[in-house]
Amino acid sequence: MNMRKIIIIVLLIIVTISTAFSQETTPVVSVQTVQPKIMVIPYTKEGEDIRTILESDVNKRIVLTKIKEAFDSRGFTTVDFTAKLKSANDNNIFASGNQTDLKSQIIQMSGADVYVEAEDNVLLTPSGNSVKIIVTAYEISTGNSLANKVGESNKFYTDDIGKLASKAIESCATDFLNVIQEKFTDIVNNGRSIIINFGFDANSTYSMSSNVGTQELQLSDELELWMEEHAYKNNYHIQGTTDKQMIFDDVRIPLKDPNTGNNYNTNKFALEIFKFMRSLGLNISRDIKGNTIYITIK
């Protein structure tokens, strides 16, 4: 082999190695995960006074604190439910009587994205003490369940309920938070799911086959065309349509208003529906319960 051939072979090897390295060193894309703000609240039975329970049961306060600490230690932003409750009491924001309303109003005013309802069971036995915790996460805006887990501390010869509560929540915290994060990330990317039920007042002269609007389309067609344009990323599903009812059982709305960046919720989407129906010359009433919007055409 002459010197010229050797030089050519060496050059080819150098070019091949350089190409391989340039293909491997592709830039790494940084993906930012949006984490939800979480508030932990105690589980209460119907008719129970949430304030009395927290004030009289130190174990419940310990359990709530330990769950909050577990979330804090993993980098989640949390809202202190006890502090919110105390602030509401000090400022006489809520009238006593309806405890369900008290809890739901604190949840709504909390500024959190997710609330975690925690039920604890402290077992004191001669063979050792233990704590079992049931945690369920709900999206505040819609009330949809995001995750639920059961954590247990196992039995120990100790009266330190705080330590047992820590062991109970530690046994399930990682899986629980991973599921919440996965569901919340899906909401950020694809929108939150709501239900919209269109119906008619008993005295209404309209039906889904009525021709409305400037294009004289059937009302059901106008509703679907509008939903196609306004559902987040065109993501919606029609459960069924009759002459007297049309149900969208899965309509996605954004987590944030794309124009202002402010929080977006079911009420704001219902307002957009109201304005659209008015543009068609229709008079409606709207009712919102949880993640469902009821539109009644008069």
Phi, psi of 268, rounded to the nearest 5 degrees: -70, -35
Q: What distance in Å separates the CA atoms of residue 215 and residue 41, rounded to the nearest whole number? A: 51
Residue 59: predicted pLDDT: 79
What phi and psi, each to the nearest 5 degrees, are found at residue 114?
-135, 140
Q: Which residues contact 168 (CB under 8 A, 6 or more apart)?
A: 120, 130, 131, 132, 133, 151, 152, 153
| Order of strands across the sheet that contains 128-139 | 78-79, 38-42, 114-125, 128-139, 145-152
Class of domain 38-187 (CATH, top level): alpha beta
Q: How far is CA 148 from CA 11, 59, 81, 93, 181, in A?
A: 62, 21, 19, 31, 13
Are 253 and 191 in contact by the 8 Å Cβ rule? The answer is: yes
Q: What is the reported pLDDT for 71?
A: 85
pLDDT of residue 54: 80
Domain range list for the chain:
38-187, 191-297
pLDDT of residue 294: 95
> What is the distance, to the nearest Å, from the Cα of residue 79 to the centroid of all Cα atoms in its chain?
15
Q: What is the pLDDT of residue 85?
A: 80
E strand map for the chain: 38-42, 78-79, 114-125, 128-139, 145-152, 192-200, 211-212, 217-218, 236-241, 246-253, 284-289, 292-297
Tokens 């009420």 — which residue?
Answer: 267
Nearest partner of 199 among 165, 228, 242, 238, judged by Cα: 242
Nearest to 173 by CA among 81, 63, 83, 79: 63
Neighbour-count burial for 240-267, b at 16+ CB within 10 Å, e otherwise: ebeeeebbbeebbbbbeeeeeeeebbbe
pTM of the full predicted structure? 0.69
Report residue 165 as tokens.
């509560």
pLDDT in tens, the chain (298 residues): 555 555 555 455 544 544 444 444 433 333 345 678 899 988 888 777 777 778 888 878 888 888 888 888 888 889 888 888 877 776 665 554 444 467 777 887 788 888 999 998 888 899 999 999 999 999 887 788 899 999 999 899 998 888 888 889 889 988 998 998 898 888 889 998 999 999 999 999 999 999 998 889 999 999 999 999 999 999 999 999 999 999 999 999 998 888 888 888 889 999 999 999 999 999 999 999 878 999 999 9
C-alpha pair distances (Å), 269 with each of 101, 195, 289: 23, 11, 13
Structural contact between residues 44 and 99, judged by C-beta atoms closer than 8 angstroms: yes
Cα–Cα distance measured from residue 79 to residue 286, given in angstroms and rounded to the nearest whole number: 32
Helices (H) then strands (E): counts for the chain: 9, 12
pLDDT at 33 (0 to 100): 55
